[in-house]
Amino acid sequence: MHYYCVWIDHNEAKIFGITTHDAEKHVVVDGGPKHHIHRKADHVRIGTDPMSHDFLDEVAQALGQAKAIMIVGPGRARTELAGHLNDRFPAIAKRIWALEPMDHPSEAELVAAARKYFRAAARMHS
């Protein structure tokens, strides 16, 4: 599998190895404790629990063989993963081709969107 699509939120990452005819799924779950955080209207960015480095490291390990990576998901999780890869796994970060917002698609919708993206992007990268 050379192309990988990662759907990530603050609790789990669904990683799909994409080929023309198949998709292999791997799920990484953040097993760390969750904290209830009280939000205050006048404090920007307060009320968000940072993502676990162990969780992000496990996602990075699953992406080690990727030729190209598409990271999608709701909220800030996708940008946190991209930043973590850039800081701690720069060789993997260089293979990120796309960073896109995507709420909660079905697995079939996610794989179809990834295939469509990689087909078009592969032509441009050639």
Which structural domain, as residue segments, surrounds residue 58? 3-125
Residue with tokens 């009320």: 47
CATH of the domain at 65: 3.30.420.60
Looking at the 3D structure of the chain, how many domains does it have? Answer: 1
The pLDDT tens digits for 72-120 are: 999 899 999 999 999 999 999 999 999 999 999 999 999 999 999 999 9
Nearest 5°: phi and psi at 63? -100, 5
The pLDDT tens digits for 6-27 are: 999 999 999 999 988 899 999 9
Q: How far is CA 51 from the centre of its chain?
A: 12
Q: Which residues are CB-neighbours of 89 under 8 A, at least 6 positions away?
A: 60
Question: Rounded to two decimals, what is the model's pTM?
Answer: 0.85
Give CA separation, 29 vs 16, 33, 54, 59, 125, in Å. 14, 12, 10, 9, 32
